[in-house]
Structure 1
Amino acid sequence: MIQDIAPHQFDNAYYPVAPDRHCIALCYESRACLMKKTEEEFIFPRFADLENENEGIYKNYTFLFRIDEERYYLVTNVCYSHLKDYSMEDISYFRSAEPQYRAFAGITGHQLFGWYNSHRYCGACGLPMKPDSKERMMYCEKCHSMEYPKICPAVIIGVTDGNRLLLSKYAGRIYKKYALLAGYTEIGETLEETVEREVFEEVGLKIKNIRYYKSQPWAFSGTILMGFYCDLDGPDEIRLDQEELALAEWFEREEIPVTPSRDSLTNEMIMQFKKGKI
């Protein structure tokens, strides 16, 4: 999966030290990230690439994380027109980009970019928020409100019936490939209750034997994904929620129309079943 970057090591501890010329600058605009692409790989700009055209870049920055010994920083409102080989690319590129550890850095940085951007002002009194100097937190000097990064829990659900697996396609989304059922956990319910509720809401099926498989940080939607398998309990007739899904179908293990990819928990769970490991 995209976060499996060994032998590289991701360190998200908060070290708000000043960047030097060799540190990596992550620059985003909405759902796009600044990078230089070649046939073999892609790279991010370093502070040295941006310093001449961006006065104050060493003052206006946000420390993000480290991978190995390299420090990554968020910088905003930068001029990059002088970087002729660089361009803004949609963050969906990170799903298959190489090297993988750099792709993981890019999408994780984008999740933090979104959080900082949506917490510039206090939700209680409306005044500007300020970053804390010791931990990743934004605070309000007037009402003392504190905001920490929020991560939304969501479940990925592999519904099985003997040698069959239920696959679906989302309605109204850019992603058009087969996927598993999924949904966000609501306040007051357990993860297992989320699994049961989402299956019934989306396809009208009852299930049993809910069992946990694995988790994954999924920065594309700002979630922590938790994978579960479960068994059909009763009739297999699908009643589709057409607002959520374009279709849902049962597939025999040997006929599952999905091939391996490196990025997602969903793909790994489908392939585990297809290979007979589940």
Structure 2
Amino acid sequence: MQYHVDGELVAAEDATVSVRNRGFQYGDAAFETLRAYGGQVFAWAAHASRLRASCDALGIDHALSDRDLRGRVHATLAANDLANASVRLTVTRGDQSGSFAPGDDVDPTVVVVADELPRGGVGGERAWRSPASAATVAVERVADDALPAVAKTNNYLNGVLARIDAGDADEAILLDSEGRVTGGATSNVFFVDDGVVHTPSLDLPVNPGITRWAVVELAEDIGITVEEGHYTPQDLRAADELFLTNTTWEVRPVSEYDDTTYSTCKVGARLARAFAEEVEQRHY
């Protein structure tokens, strides 16, 4: 495997960053997880926009154009002969010694790594083996005024601690300080009640997932009503079906949440099919 580090393709075993790198020292970095289908990144413009928002929230100026970043991603895919893959694009503040507060002379570090995934689209294979189990955890979602939810940073301890607290469950469901559902550690949450799809609104500390956005758009296209609001775990447990979205999973049904089981995911399956058709049309 070859990875892209600071503008150079290097062998995986040589792909390193300095121990002085602020991404390593403090989690002072932003990242995007991308999905490549047929050699092209899905919804690149949306991912690039969110990465800009993350870097703006952290005050990191990497001085690279979206075209340059996309070129590095595609160069990594091509170097590894990957058409269908998960790609992580990371931008750290760079190397700096001594001071906790960042200086003005830091040169950002940009890294791209990729891993093979199955073909997507119609007739493709899922990246997950079975419906997910999920559990409400005691770990609270970090408040938006402490760390903006729009910022996908390398300091993912909130999600790591939540996953630990979730035990054997595939996903941890985090609440805010008022007990409202915000989403999963690495996913957005949707539930269905009487045919209407519900998902936590973005005025809560909810990361604006790219697949979340795509699913909401596709639901409107095929006549499924989507409502955004504030919900509790009880709302999820009383729902007819529950599913999760993220870049790698796409649309993944939940079979078990806390002490509740779900025997169907018909609306989720329609949306998964619509997503697969969109991918097929765009990329294959």
Give TM class, smaller chain: under 0.3
TM-score by length of 2: 0.25
Larger radius of gyration: 1
